[in-house]
Amino acid sequence: MKCGNCGNCGNCGKQAKQNKNFYFSFISINIMSIEYSGKNNFEDKYIIKVEGKVIGNITVNFESRSIMNIFIVPDFERMGYGTRLVKHVEDLFREKKFPIIRTSTITSLEAKNFFSKLGFSIDNQELGLKILSTEF
């Protein structure tokens, strides 16, 4: 009979030791957290931690329904942490029943590519927009 978690051995601990990618993914999920860091003027900040160490943040303005800033420590870039922060904020917007999410001005090609891959459309004024739902 196949295991419900790993679909293979029936003993996930044993499978985790045999398959390094599965083991790494399992560990990563358990040591990463996103926490509310506080409010400054009209902006809310969320931090992302790995093994208790802050490795990035995202700043959101719920009034303007915008992501104002996102930062990941260079050693942790391109590991999915920025995507996790944006997805977390998207979930918060959905909970508040906000149908769209914007970005502030995006000037770098890297940022344009990042937000485009997450489903944002970038206009000629370098502002990003993503429709989360048409049902609210």
Give the CATH number of the domain where residue 45 resides.
Answer: 3.40.630.30
pLDDT of residue 18 exceeding 60: no
In a domain, 27, yes or no: no
pLDDT tens profile 37-94? 999 888 999 999 999 999 999 999 999 999 999 999 999 999 999 999 999 999 999 9
Element spanning 24, H or E: helix 20-31
In a domain, 97, yes or no: yes
Distance CA 74, CA 54 (A): 12
Question: What is the side-by-side strand order in the sheet with 128-131?
Answer: 32-40, 43-50, 53-61, 66-72, 100-103, 128-131, 121-122
AA identity, residue 121: S
Can you give the residue range of the structural domain that contains 58? 32-131
In a domain, 89, yes or no: yes
User: How many domains are there within the chain?
Assistant: 1
Q: For 75, which DSSP code? A: G
pTM comes to 0.73
Low-confidence winner among 18-27, 74-83, 93-102 (lowest mean pLDDT)? 18-27
In a domain, 100, yes or no: yes
pLDDT at 6: 54
